[in-house]
Every structure is written in structure tokens, then in C-alpha cells.
Structure 1
Amino acid sequence: MNDTHVTVVGNVVDSPRRVSLENGAVTNFRLASTARRFDGQTQEFVDAGTFWVDVECWNDLSGNVSGSVSKGDPVIVQGTLTTHSWEGENGRRSTPRIRAAAVGHNLARGTGVFRRNRSARPAEPVPAAAGAAHDALPGGEEELVSGRDYEAAPETLHGMDTSDLAMEPAHV
């Protein structure tokens, strides 16, 4: 009811570890998110504090994360924030933890290729408006191909004219 939902942008700081348990599989990794701010005295952007958080990914997400994410990758994690506590040598200890609902690469920092999981459920019928793009593919499923241009599909919401695009300001 009162879960704290968060989205954290940062970098994976250790190799994800996958463990199979009685109640499912879990993949854990540590994430560092460093804030940046503009320093008026030096007229430069500088690093502010770093937020360190453990991330746990369960079941299907566990397998996808362990097969897709590596140490050093820029990622975006969305999930529920909790505090993990334990008794240590020096007394009670705690650390923040996110039980992830979604993990993805930060495409502002690079490119990616997405591959859907093959599920056991039957393929959904292809709408007639999808046209010939689906006709040539076996089983009626469209396979996504890296570098393929999808803008010409009948489902496109609107055309794109690059002259309409404003220049994005450069970030320092």
C-alpha cells in the first residue's frame, strides 16, 4: 500500500550475480548514481554525492538481467525501495535496496538491440492493418532486425520531417 516507488539512473558497479532458490531465481547487483551540479565559482559541472543501492531482480527479470547487464553498464532501474538490515560485527547495519520491476540500458549513453523472450503462449493474431510486413515472416511473428527502419510501417503515428526538429542544446 505505502511502497516507495523509485527510478534510479546510474552505473552497475559489480558483475550481476544470479542464484536459483526454492521460490525462484534472483539476480543481484550494486548500482551507483552520482548527481552532477553546476558550480558557479568554477563555471563547471562537478560531481555531487553518490547514492549506492543494491538491486534485486526476481524470476524472468532475473534471467534477462543476468544475460544482458554487465559491470560498468549505464542503466535505469525502476522498482520498490526498501531498507535491508542485518546484525554485523559492529552492531546493526543497513543498506538501501531496490526490488526491481524493470531494468534497462540508458540509451542516452549508447545504443542497444532488443530481443523479445520466446514465450510458451500462442502468438496473437496479426491485425489486418499490419499488411505485408507480417505476411513474409514465418508463424506470423515479426522478427526485429538491428538497423531496420520501422518508420514506414502503416502503424506509424505520423511522418517525420527532420527540418521540424529543433537542435538539442549541447550538454557539458
Structure 2
Amino acid sequence: MSSKITVIGNVVSPPTKNRTQNGSVTNFRMASNERRFDTATQDWIDGHSFFVDVECWGELGGNVAHSVSKGDPVVVVGAIRTHEWESEQGRRSRPQIKAEAVAPNLARGVADFRRTQRPVAAAPEEAPSGDDQGFPTSVEELVAGRDYVGQEETLDGVNPDLSAEPAHV
């Protein structure tokens, strides 16, 4: 079981992408700074900073590596846990988020969002050609509004029982 968390802050280290046995992962560190309004001085006061490591797996990691830079304001949603390891100084730990989503903080700027383009699956070479049936055999043959080409026969020609009017009950 993991604890979900949303952290708003700034990226403090450039995202680095690595390949592992389990796939690719992109890691970066972020800081979330406490700010509060002091009514006595009528000014904003900076408080404590919370630093956390963020790991982004798979497609999210690739998108983060291409879209996020050091200094960017971000919103991260994911599962928080404590990363622990042994060092020369003894047992060490620090918080880490396994991100489900990383987004630019639009309260601090604008973004130019583009959906990830998915490659079109190519037909296997051993598949029979669709030319004799009138179907497109390549992406280039597809025409907007004409991605389906039906056969000349209709269902009632294939199954004569379908041509009868439905019985009214």
C-alpha cells in the first residue's frame, strides 16, 4: 500500500534518463517552498523547503525528459515512499515519489501541450493483400472520411432472412 501525494514546487536538478532491467526511468529532484502572508508586515515570508526525489517510469519518463528542465515550476502526483540505503556514515534515507503525473504549474506560466504521437502499426508482410477486395493497403491510401470501404453485397443479400420486415408484437 502506498500513500498518494501531490507536490507543487520547482525542479532543482536536470532530469536524467536511464535504462534499467525494468525499463527506462527519468529522475529529478524538486523543492516545494512554504510561503505565507505575514499580516504584521503585510508581506510574503518564505518558510521551510521540502526536497523530494521524483522517479518517472516508461512513457511518462520519456515525456518528462523532453519537456521538463531545471527551474521549471511543476505539479507532481504519485506515491511517496522512503528510499533507504547503507552508506559509510550508516543507514541513510530520503523521500521519493514514484510519479503518476507530472505537469507544468500553469499558475506560473503557459505551456504548449502536444499529445504523444503513437506509431501506426504496420501490416505484417505475410498478410494477404487487400487490393482485390478494395481495401486500402497502406496509410497513404487512406483518405479523410473514407477509412472504411464496404463490400458491394449487403447483409440481406448474404442472409435472406434479414430482408423480411420485423414482426410487430
How many Å apart are 1:3 and its aligned residue? 1.4
Whole-angstrom CA distance in 2 between matches of 1:109 and 1:78: 18
How many Å apart are 1:22 and its aligned residue? 2.0
1:65 aligns with 2:78: no
How many Å apart are 1:121 and its aligned residue? 6.5
Cross-structure match for 1:143: none
How many Å apart are 1:41 and its aligned residue? 3.0
Q: Which runs of 5+ in 1 are unaligned?
A: 123-137, 141-172
Cross-structure match for 1:18: 17
- 1:27-52 CA-to-partner distances (Å, cap 9, x unmatched) read 00000000101223322110111000
Cross-structure match for 1:85: 84
Whole-angstrom CA distance in 1 between matches of 2:97 and 2:144: 38
Cross-structure match for 1:156: none
Whole-angstrom CA distance in 2 between matches of 1:89 and 1:36: 36
* Inter-CA distance 139–36: structure 2 relative to 1 (3 Å threshold): farther
Cross-structure match for 2:124: none
Task: Name which of structure 1's ranges 35-44 and 25-34 shifts more when overlaid on structure 2.
Answer: 35-44
How many Å apart are 1:88 and its aligned residue? 1.5
Pairing of 1:23-172 with structure 2 (within 5 A)? 23-120=22-119
Partner AA of 1:24 in structure 2: G
Whole-angstrom CA distance in 1 between matches of 2:53 and 2:25: 13
Higher-Rg structure is 2
Whole-angstrom CA distance in 2 between matches of 1:33 and 1:23: 29
How many Å apart are 1:120 and its aligned residue? 4.0
Whole-angstrom CA distance in 2 between matches of 1:44 and 1:85: 39
* Inter-CA distance 139–103: structure 2 relative to 1 (3 Å threshold): farther
TM-score (ref. length: structure 1): 0.68
CA RMSD of the aligned region, Å? 1.6
Number of corresponding residues:
124
Whole-angstrom CA distance in 1 between matches of 2:62 and 2:26: 7
Whole-angstrom CA distance in 1 between matches of 2:12 and 2:61: 17
Whole-angstrom CA distance in 2 between matches of 1:116 and 1:139: 20
Whole-angstrom CA distance in 1 between matches of 2:64 and 2:34: 24
Whole-angstrom CA distance in 2 between matches of 1:98 and 1:23: 17
Cross-structure match for 1:150: none
Give percent identity, aligned residues only.
54
Whole-angstrom CA distance in 2 between matches of 1:117 and 1:72: 24
* Inter-CA distance 139–101: structure 2 relative to 1 (3 Å threshold): farther
Q: Which runs of 5+ in 2 are unaligned?
A: 122-142, 146-169
